[in-house]
Amino acid sequence: METDGPPSTHQPGTTPLSLHPSTSPTHSQYDEAEDAALGDAYAAALAAGLNLFDSGDSYGTGRLSGRSESLLGQFRAEGRGARAPLPVAVATKIAPYPWRLTSGQWLAAARASAERAGGLALAQLHWSTSTYAPWQVNERMER
């Protein structure tokens, strides 16, 4: 197997996974006017055989809270990339906000993310608070 670079041709779902930088609504310099272009990028990624999309409930702030997940859900509902060779998988990260302490609060956050994204393959902790708020980690571990 050649390892010097990506293969020049491929069959979707059979080539090594490669990740490329992309634009999505995160915390900085997002403009809602870009939504159509983001939808086109989503469809192009699916057509190229990429089917895993990473997101986070904290991607988008203020009135745009959860915007990245919402756009993924919108694109899925619109059927963009409907002829994709592989099913879409969305993995999201749940932010450890100080008010999320109990398992019920974490579950509610994951359910809200799944609702926005049109379903989730994976929900996980976005970052550890162990270095600046270790009491949060201990509280979560005890539940």
Q: Which residues are catalytic?
A: 59
Cα gap 91→44, rounded to integer Å: 19
Cα gap 90→104, rounded to integer Å: 22
Burial of residue 72, with CB atoms counted within 10 A of its CB: 0-12 exposed, 13-18 middle, 19 or more buried: buried
Q: For the segment 58-86, what is each residue's pLDDT rounded down to a tens digit?
A: 887 667 778 899 999 999 999 887 777 77
Does residue 37 have a pLDDT over 70?
yes
pLDDT band at 137; cut points 50, 70, 90: low
Give just the sign of the alpha carbon dihedral 64, 77, 88, 7: negative
pLDDT for residue 119? 95
Does residue 36 have a pLDDT over 70?
yes
Does residue 25 have a pLDDT over 60?
no
Question: Which tokens in the block code for residue 78?
Answer: 């619109």
Higher-confidence position of 74 and 20: 74
- Assign residue 13 a region: left if phi > 0, alpha if psi is -120 to 50, beta otherwise? left
Does residue 22 have a pLDDT over 50?
no
pLDDT for residue 139? 54
Q: For the segment 106-136, what is each residue's pLDDT rounded down to a tens digit?
A: 899 999 999 999 999 999 988 877 777 776 6
